[in-house]
Structure 1
Amino acid sequence: MADAFSSLVETFRNVGVARAYGAPVQIGGEELIPVALVSFGFGGGGDSGPEGANASAEGGGGGGFVLPLGAYLTNGQGRVVFRANTLAVLVGLVPVVCAVGMSVRGVLKAVTASRR
């Protein structure tokens, strides 16, 4: 199990900003730098079983996702601007909107309960 964990750590050692910002691409005379939200995780565990038994169990797994947020590009005046991927940004905001809605609901319930 330790060897597998060491292998995973080594594989993901350089994951970070390099994965969030893609390599520059030339399209129609303009340079584009893609931007994404990158998330991943992994874990594992084991059990040696009851004392004196020779049975043991180990396991692990992982996963991740990439959400394309948009791209940096140069406009006609030579300034760098960010062009958002509207659909991806809306999908990314869904958990935030849900959390805010649940918080407001909780506050409203507390206020109405205290007025009774």
Structure 2
Amino acid sequence: MADTLASLADSFKNMGVARAYGPPLNLGGEEIVPVALVSFGFGGGTESEQGASGGGGGGFVVPLGVYRTVNGHATFRPNTIATLVCLVPLVSVAGAAIRKALRVARK
């Protein structure tokens, strides 16, 4: 079990800001820095009576856009499709909350 935890810890050491911001690239005279939303998690469990144990993990990366450096000024250019996909849950929750608030207000 200790070896499993050690290998999980080693695999997640390099996650974080280094994964959210990519290395700067020079394309067509512009310097760009890719930006992404990075999320990961893992868990484990054990059953003491039978001696069973298990674990797992996973994650995802959503490309949010790039920072462009033009004439010494950095600007953010979003990835439109990824932004819309990330907004779908927020719009859904906001719509449900407004619907419930209107139902309560009618009573």
TM-score by length of 2: 0.91
Q: Who is 1:58 aligned against?
A: 53
Work out whether 1:109 is the aligned partner of 2:103. yes
Task: Quote the offset at 1:111 in angstroms.
Answer: 1.1
Runs of 4+ in 1 over 4 A off after TM superposition: none
Matches of 1:101 and 1:32, distance apart in 2: 36
More strand by percentage: 2
Matches of 1:2 and 1:45, distance apart in 2: 13
Q: Which amino acid aligns with 1:110?
A: V
Task: Quote the offset at 1:14 in angstroms.
Answer: 3.5
* Aligned residues between the structures: 107
1:19-53 CA-to-partner distances (Å, cap 9, x unmatched) read: 1000111111211100000001110100022xxxx
Task: Quote the offset at 1:8 in angstroms.
Answer: 1.2
Larger radius of gyration: 1
CA RMSD of aligned residues (A): 1.3
- Identity, in percent, stands at 57
Unaligned runs of 5+ in 1: 50-54
Q: Who is 2:19 aligned against?
A: 19
